[in-house]
Amino acid sequence: MDSILVSACLRGVPCRYDGRDKAVPELAEAIGDRRALPFCPEVAGGLATPRRPAEIVGGDGHDVLDGTARVVTDTGEDVTAEFVEGARRALAAAQRGGCTEAVLMPRSPSCGRGEIHDGTFDGTLRPGDGITAALLERHGITVTAAPGV
């Protein structure tokens, strides 16, 4: 059976920054008959739940991986290293599980695909990918944002 990497919060795990989950019924259709491999890169990278909200400043996940942008909390703490480590661990889990696809949490600085928060903490969105989404894509894993979120 094929496996698909899925943001753990979408599978009902209360691991989001606010300590909640973001389970959505539409996810079952996106997963289909594949085995879901739930994973939270932020927790895997060493961040607590709950935690301060964080956004990418100076670009998107590709820029963070290239060393030209960073991830900061709403209080100014730099958490780039934790986000990058979590992305690396997500990639390793996906590769171990034989995943060629991932369905991730939209707008997240880790998991966002196509659109993320712009780093101002005022709810403004901008085009771009989160760090985990960018790293997975760089390694040939197809990433889509979860429907219904």
Quote the pLDDT of residue 101: 97
Q: Which two tokens stand for residue 35?
A: 């085995």
Residue 15 has pLDDT above 80, yes or no: yes
**For residue 148, what pLDDT is reported?**
87
Residue 129 corresponds to which tokens in the numbers above?
């990918």
Residue 1 clears pLDDT 80, i.e. is over it: no
What is the C-alpha separation between 132 and 123, in angstroms, rounded? Answer: 21
Mean pLDDT of 47-72: 98
- Cβ partners under 8 Å of residue 24, min gap 6: 10, 146, 147, 148, 149
d(CA 8, CA 105): 9
Mean pLDDT, the chain, integer: 97
* Paired tokens of 20: 């909640």
